[in-house]
Amino acid sequence: GKLSKRFGTPRGGDLYWKGWLISAPSGTAIKAVHHGRVVFSNYLRGFGLLVIIDHGAGYMSLYAHNKELISTTGDWIQSGEIIARTGNTGGIVDTALYFEIREKGIPVNPKTWLSKR
């Protein structure tokens, strides 16, 4: 997809993006950035259908606004495994993936976790 909102850019008022918003066609496969265990796979207000993966050592990745969840809570996930499909749930108009990395609960720039293939 195409990066439409970057980590740290203004979101409105005193709010800033804590992750990336990546525009993509509806139903695009979303792949895990790293292996880990799914600790949440359900609807969460403001995030829509959301998958959270615990990667250990205090790191988690969040994948929000999905239209379909493929992984379920408790699943062990491999890097590159399809975990969900893009949508526009949780209050966004256009289809996109919201991607966030947290280190010990604090959002960090996801740039270091992604690379072009």
Each of the 117 residues of the chain gets a pLDDT tens digit; together they read: 898 888 878 777 788 879 998 999 999 999 999 999 999 999 999 899 999 999 999 999 999 999 999 999 999 999 999 999 999 999 899 999 999 999 999 999 998 776 554
Look up tokens 């979101």; give the residue.
Answer: 11
Residue-wise burial string across 80-98, b where 16 or more C-beta atoms lie within 10 A, e elsewhere: ebebbbbbebbebeebbbb
In the chain, the largest separation of any two C-alpha atoms, in whole Å, equals 39
Q: Is 11 in a helix, a strand, or coil?
A: strand
Backbone dihedral angles phi then psi of residue 12, each to the nearest 5 degrees: 135, 130
**What pLDDT sits at residue 36?**
98
- The pTM of the full predicted model, rounded to 2 decimals, is 0.92
